[in-house]
């Protein structure tokens, strides 16, 4: 044994065909395979979307789809209309409402965490905020339907059980942690020296926060808004549960509306036949939604690159 | 030197200053008066307390949690740690320039106008005048007058530091604290800043922390030597360097340690 291990000399470092070496050689291939799974799945999804959407546009003209103001896909016969605008305005109404809730509160939370909170408190609050981001959206949906809506109806008695307002508020609450957390990251990475310079000139804490730190972190902050809103656009459960199923061209938040996502759920759950125009309309709406969120995500990337601060 | 001493009065009076970071004491019984419109250099090895001392003069040390002080610091006769002191007004009168240039990621103009703006000046013409005057005082005007809207972060390190000096001067302080303002700069930029200090001397009371003893000798009227949180010696720069009264000072300035 001793001589085999110690005396070979020349052959001591020669590569041997061991299981260990074979395994090591396989590793990059396995890892690549895993990476490919998600890429191929994405490509597959986009491919399916495109194929079914193209097929949908053979039944319904493209122009009619994007300019039509009536969406009655689940009706029958001549009453059936595929004008996507009501679904888009429904989505935008909820998204705008969510933005009005989430942007001020999210930014204020970020300013508090980054500039005001004592170290100990920040170390407790930040993880809690990130846990909030992990609550299943169906829970938020029930919260909207069973708590926020009844509460709002105390003040707006004529408002229906399903309304865009309640959904907007709760979607807004849902994306606050995301906006707060990402904005806080951006603000915390503003160098300490810049804050000190501002304090040394006699700035108050609020002036340092609003006139120095927020502008310096603006690219990251705006990117957090865009990412938050892109989640709001794609949000499904809250709007399905709380906003109703009434495709309507309106900007009145007290009315029942339907978003693109909520329509897709409703249609997919309903009694529709495979290959029918209604079936394919799910893909067409999905494609529209995909274009929206893709544009938002690209916008967020562009903003954070284009306006990145060099300190 | 002698006639200057007659003309001036103490701008800063520090008596028996102790400073603690939590449990750890960083300054021990520092007492030191600074005359108005002079340049005072603080020298000593790293960690000797000179920057800590400097930061007590505009209460910047308060930004670090757990700092406590005992003793008294008076600026123009007023106790700046009195509870009725408006710390923002104090800092307006006691400007500060830091070790590394720290311009805001804004335009050159907005960097200078920031201070006047937060202190209530809105008039565009007044702001223009302040910007020009401050940049001229910091000997930067000719280099940047055609690109005031450019971002300050695009300037060279030396220009950035002069911009930071201009920014500090824009709120018209009476005292200017400088915490190793040239330690991040090349020799040419350093020479420019030292030249600038000569020009500012006589109009501002300047206290400058420096690691560089030649710099202290070149720019200051008086020099204070700190060691392990204590003020070892404080004297006219000339006599401190030519004829140190304390063995430790002598050891330090002759390079035996530090």
pTM metric for this prediction = 0.85
Q: Is B201 helix (H, G, I), strand (E, B) or coil?
A: strand
Mean pLDDT to the nearest integer, A31-60: 94
Residue B9 pLDDT class (50, 70, 90 cuts): low
CB of B28 less than 8 A from some CB of A: no
Q: Are the Cβ atoms of B65 and A119 closer than 8 angstroms?
A: yes
pLDDT at A215: 93
Terminal-to-terminal C-alpha distance of chain B: 29
CA-to-CA separations, A208 to A27, A215, B114, in angstroms, rounded: 51, 10, 11
Q: If you average pLDDT over residues B137-143, what whole number do you get?
A: 93
Tell me the average pLDDT of chain A: 91
Question: Is the CB of A201 less than 8 angstroms away from the CB of B168?
Answer: yes
Model pLDDT, residue A273: 87
Q: Which residue among A118, A202, A212 places its CB closest to the CB of B119?
A: A202
Higher pLDDT, A5 or A186: A186
Residue B118 in this model has a pLDDT that exceeds 80: yes
Partner-chain contact B102 A197, CB within 8 Å: yes
**Contact criterion met (CB < 8 Å) for B104 and A200:** no
**Dist CA A122 CA B62 (whole Å):** 19
Q: Is pLDDT at A92 greater than 50 in this prediction?
A: yes
Average pLDDT over residues A111-140: 91
Cβ-contact A83, A69 below 8 angstroms: yes
Write out pLDDT tens, residues A198-223.
Answer: 999 999 999 999 999 999 999 999 99
B-chain residues within 8 Å CB-CB of A310? 105, 153
What is d(CA A302, CA A308) in angstroms, rounded to the nearest whole number? 10
- Which pLDDT belongs to residue B1? 42
The percent of residues in chain A predicted with pLDDT above 90, rounded, is: 77
In this structure, are residues B44 and B252 in contact, taking their beta carbons and an 8 Å threshold?
A: yes
Contact criterion met (CB < 8 Å) for B91 and A201: yes
| Res B3: pLDDT | 45
Q: Tokens for A17?
A: 């065909």
User: What tokens were used for A197?
Assistant: 């310079």
What pLDDT, on the 0 to 100 scale, is given for residue A77? 78
Q: Retrieve residue B82's tokens.
A: 């009195």
Please tell me the distance from the alpha carbon of residue B50 to that of residue B37, in angstroms, as a whole number: 20
What's the mean pLDDT in A99-107?
Answer: 97
More confident residue, A309 or A88: A88
- Tell if the CB–CB gap between A216 and B105 is shorter than 8 Å: yes
Contact A203/B118, CB-based, under 8 Å? Answer: yes
**What confidence category does residue B257 fall into, taking pLDDT thresholds of 50, 70 and 90?**
confident
Block residue for tokens 């503003």: A190
Report the residue of chain A nearest B100, measured CA to CA.
A193
Residue B2 reports pLDDT greater than 50 = no
User: B 178-237 residues with CB below 8 A of A?
Assistant: none
The C-alpha atoms of residue A27 and residue B50 are separated, in whole angstroms, by: 57
Angle between helices A218-234 and A277-306 (to 10 degrees): 170
Across chain B, mean pLDDT equals: 92
DSSP B255: T
Q: What is the pLDDT of residue A309?
A: 66
Locate the DSSP E strands across A29-176.
none
Interface of A with B in 198-217 (CB under 8 A): 198-204, 207, 211-212, 215-216
Q: Which of A302, A260, A303, A266 is nearest to A66 (CA)?
A: A260
pLDDT tier, A310 (very low <50, low <70, confident <90, very high otherwise): low
Interchain CB contact of B145 with A (< 8 Å):
no
Mind spelling out the 3-state secondary structure of B126-154? HHHHHHHHHHHHCCCHHHHHHHCCCEHHH
B242 touches chain A (CB under 8 A): no
Minimum mean pLDDT range among A81-95, A119-133, A199-213? A119-133
Structure tokens at B167: 């920014």
* B62-77 pLDDT tens trace: 988 889 999 999 999 8
DSSP code for A112: I
Decide if pLDDT at B236 tops 50.
Answer: yes
Q: What is the pLDDT of residue B250?
A: 92
User: Which stretches within B202-243 are classed as H helix?
Assistant: 213-219, 237-242
Q: Is-contact B173 B4, C-beta < 8 A?
A: no
Q: Give the span between the Cα atoms of B11 and A93, in whole angstroms.
A: 62
Chain B hits for A212, Cβ within 8 Å: 104, 114
| A308 pLDDT more than 90 | no
Q: What is the mean pLDDT of residues B96-116?
A: 95
Q: Which top CATH class is A77-306? A: mainly alpha
Q: Model confidence over A242-260: pLDDT tens digits?
A: 998 999 999 999 999 999 9
CB B135 within 8 A of CB B141: yes
Rounded mean pLDDT, B26-30:
95
CB contact under 8 A, A194 and B105: yes
Q: Residue A80 pLDDT > 50, yes or no?
A: yes
Q: Is the pLDDT of residue A1 over 50?
A: no
Residue B177: strand, helix, or coil: strand
**Band of residue A12 on the pLDDT scale cut at 50, 70, 90:** confident
pLDDT at A55: 95
């Amino acid at each position: 044994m001793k001589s085999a291990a110690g005396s070979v000399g020349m052959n001591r470092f020669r590569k041997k065909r061991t299981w260990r070496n074979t395994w090591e050689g396989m590793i990059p291939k396995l890892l690549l395979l895993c990476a490919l799974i998600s890429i191929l799945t994405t490509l597959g999804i986009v491919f399916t979307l495109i194929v079914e959407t193209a097929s949908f546009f053979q039944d319904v003209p493209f122009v009619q789809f994007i300019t039509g103001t009536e969406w009655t896909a689940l009706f029958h016969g001549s009453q059936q209309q595929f004008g996507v605008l009501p679904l888009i305005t429904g989505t935008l109404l909820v998204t705008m409402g969510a933005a009005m809730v989430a942007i001020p509160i999210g930014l204020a939370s970020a300013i508090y965490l980054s500039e005001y909170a004592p170290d100990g408190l920040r170390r407790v609050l930040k993880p809690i905020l990130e846990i909030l981001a992990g609550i299943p959206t169906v829970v938020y949906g029930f919260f909207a339907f069973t708590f926020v809506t009844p509460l709002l109806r105390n003040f707006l008695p004529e408002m229906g059980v399903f309304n865009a307002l309640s959904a907007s508020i709760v979607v807004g609450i849902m994306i606050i942690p995301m906006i707060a957390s990402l904005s806080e990251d951006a603000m915390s990475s503003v160098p300490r020296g810049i804050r000190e310079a501002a304090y040394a000139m006699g700035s108050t804490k609020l002036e340092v926060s609003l006139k120095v730190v927020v502008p310096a972190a603006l690219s990251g902050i705006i990117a957090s808004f865009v990412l938050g809103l892109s989640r709001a656009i794609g949000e499904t459960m809250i709007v399905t549960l709380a906003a109703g199923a009434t495709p309507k061209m309106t900007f009145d938040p007290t009315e029942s509306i339907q978003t693109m996502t909520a329509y897709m759920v409703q249609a997919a759950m309903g009694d529709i036949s495979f290959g029918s125009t209604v079936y394919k309309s799910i893909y067409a709406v999905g494609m529209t939604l995909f274009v929206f969120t893709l544009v938002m995500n690209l916008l967020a990337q562009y903003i954070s690159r284009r306006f990145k601060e060099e300190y | 030197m002698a006639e200057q001493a007659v003309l001036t009065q103490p701008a800063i009076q520090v008596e028996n200053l102790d400073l603690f970071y939590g449990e750890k004491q960083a300054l021990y019984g520092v007492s030191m008066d600074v005359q108005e419109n002079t340049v005072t250099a603080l020298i000593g090895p790293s960690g000797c307390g000179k920057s800590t001392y400097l930061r007590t003069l505009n209460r910047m040390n308060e930004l670090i949690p757990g700092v406590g002080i005992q003793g008294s610091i008076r600026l123009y006769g007023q106790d700046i740690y009195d509870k009725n002191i408006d710390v923002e007004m104090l800092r307006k009168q006691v400007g500060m320039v830091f070790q590394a240039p720290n311009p805001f990621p804004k335009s050159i103009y907005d960097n200078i106008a920031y201070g006047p703006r937060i202190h209530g000046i809105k008039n565009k013409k007044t702001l223009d005048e302040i910007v020009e005057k401050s940049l001229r005082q910091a000997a930067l005007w000719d280099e940047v007058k055609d690109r005031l809207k450019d971002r300050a972060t695009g300037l060279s390190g030396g220009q950035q530091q002069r911009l930071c000096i201009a920014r500090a001067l824009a709120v018209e302080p009476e005292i200017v604290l400088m915490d190793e303002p040239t330690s991040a700069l090349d020799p040419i930029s350093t020479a420019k800043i030292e030249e600038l200090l000569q020009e500012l001397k006589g109009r501002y009371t300047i206290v400058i922390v420096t690691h560089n003893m030649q710099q202290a000798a070149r720019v200051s009227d008086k020099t204070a030597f700190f060691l392990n949180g204590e003020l070892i010696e404080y004297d006219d720069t000339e006599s401190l360097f030519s004829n140190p009264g304390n063995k430790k000072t002598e050891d330090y300035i002759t390079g035996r340690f530090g």
